Amino acid sequence: MVAVDENSPTDAGRPARQLRRRRWPRWVAVVVALMVAAVLFGAYGWQPTEAGRNFRSPYLASVGSRYVDTPLARFHYIQAGSGAPVVLLSPGGTSVIGWKDQFTALSRDHTVYVVDLPGQGYTQLHDRDFRFDLNAMTKAVGTFMDAVGVPRAALAGNSWSGGWALAFAQRHPDRVTRLALLDATGLDLPGTLMWESLKIPAFGELATKLSTGKPTVRSLAEGMMVNKDRVTDQLLDEWWAPMTFHDNIRATYLLERRLDWALTERALPTTATPTLILWGKQDTIQPVDRAHLFAALLPDAQLQILNGCGHAPQLDCPEPVNHHLQMFFAA
């Protein structure tokens, strides 16, 4: 072993002590600081334009938007038909367009309401202290039903809104006659990397804001569906427009951080509401094994797995979804 004097020159002509103290050039620190500042500004200072405000929805023009005002929110909804009431909760992140095919099919035998809850679609939030957690979202469901005079109804939701429907049925079983869960949240299991990343402060805010461009929305929509040809330009426009609204952007990352699905999972064995579990076999966001777990934990559940369908089966495979919902709600 050869001893090295720290103060003796190295073969490069510099003391070993100086080699150990080597630092990054100052410009690297400046670049990093500028990048951090840009992220923080993008997350907390910058707001993208609400480009979707200029969109005039052909779908809503054809079915007729309705609004009902409450202290909590001015709820946007559509309504048709007559008979026993069915309430469809707009899928998380989109609007009433998410149930366009079921709205027509179910209204032949039922009074059908499709509603945008706060942070979704065209509903306008009045309560600025609204928490965007399970308590708040379930309260919103009840507030809407009260406002339109529906004491009890069959309830359905897809993705996040399936979890909200489930939570409402667990807390208010006397108000839900039947429950349909389509590729629903509600199990205390992690989401995809993309969704989990929204929980990171600053990154979640910036990523959500940057995801409101049409190319990104198309990519998200096509990623949820097996039958890509169903993502038409018209559907894309309807999907995209409310995603640009500032309140809806904020709701997206807050909901991802605050929805506690441990609460709904723990209550599954005592959830007595008759439940239909409809699931796309090729769902890449809520894998199909979660459908089987729901079916195992719920005491009164029917399970239907739809081959060739993804995370939004009501848009991806409307015909079988319509059939199963009609049969279930008619029972």
Confidence band for 110, pLDDT divided at 50, 70 and 90: very high
Asked if pLDDT for residue 10 goes beyond 70, the answer is no
Is the residue at 164 inside a domain?
Answer: yes
Please give the structure tokens belonging to residue 97: 């367009």
The pLDDT score that the predictor gives to residue 226 is: 98
The pLDDT score that the predictor gives to residue 22 is: 63
H/E segment holding residue 101: helix 100-106
* Under 8 Å between Cβ of 286 and 200: no
300: number of CA atoms within 13 Å, CB side? 11
* Residue 275 β-bridge partners: 179, 301
Is the residue at 300 inside a domain?
Answer: yes
What three-state secondary structure class fits 32?
A: helix
Cβ neighbors of 227 (< 8 A, separation 6 or more) are 308, 309, 316, 317
Segment 51-62 shows an average pLDDT of 96
pTM for the full predicted model: 0.90
Whose CA is closest to 66, among 52, 80, 53? Answer: 80
Least trusted range by pLDDT, from 100-104, 138-142, 198-202, 234-238 = 198-202
Q: What is the pLDDT of the chain when averaged over all its residues?
A: 92
Asked if pLDDT for residue 8 goes beyond 50, the answer is no
Please give the structure tokens belonging to residue 281: 């076999």
Is the residue at 311 inside a domain?
Answer: yes
Asked if pLDDT for residue 12 goes beyond 70, the answer is no
Confidence band for 39, pLDDT divided at 50, 70 and 90: confident
Please give the structure tokens belonging to residue 144: 């809407």
- Return phi, psi of residue 269, to 5°: -65, -20
Is the residue at 44 inside a domain?
Answer: no
Q: Which domain CATH number covers 180? A: 3.40.50.1820
Residue range(s) defining the domain that contains residue 200: 51-330
Other C-beta atoms closer than 10 Å to the C-beta of 262 total: 10
> Percent of the chain, pLDDT > 70?
93
- Return phi, psi of residue 201, to 5°: -55, 145
Asked if pLDDT for residue 1 goes beyond 50, the answer is no
Segment 66-82 shows an average pLDDT of 98
Is the residue at 31 inside a domain?
Answer: no
- Domain total in the chain: 1
The residue type of 136 is A
Is the residue at 20 inside a domain?
Answer: no
H/E segment holding residue 177: strand 176-182
Is the residue at 16 inside a domain?
Answer: no
Look-up of token digits 């469809």 = 88
The pLDDT score that the predictor gives to residue 49 is: 92
Segment 6-14 shows an average pLDDT of 47
Q: Which of 34-48, 97-111, 194-208 has the highest mean pLDDT?
A: 97-111
Asked if pLDDT for residue 107 goes beyond 80, the answer is yes
Asked if pLDDT for residue 19 goes beyond 60, the answer is no
Please give the structure tokens belonging to residue 235: 């559907």
> Percent of the chain, pLDDT > 90?
84
- Return phi, psi of residue 88, to 5°: -105, 125
* Under 8 Å between Cβ of 238 and 59: yes
Is the residue at 25 inside a domain?
Answer: no
The residue type of 231 is V
Question: Measured in whole angstroms, how far is the alpha carbon of residue 37 from the centre of its chain?
Answer: 29
Asked if pLDDT for residue 94 goes beyond 60, the answer is yes
Whose CA is closest to 160, among 126, 132, 127? Answer: 132
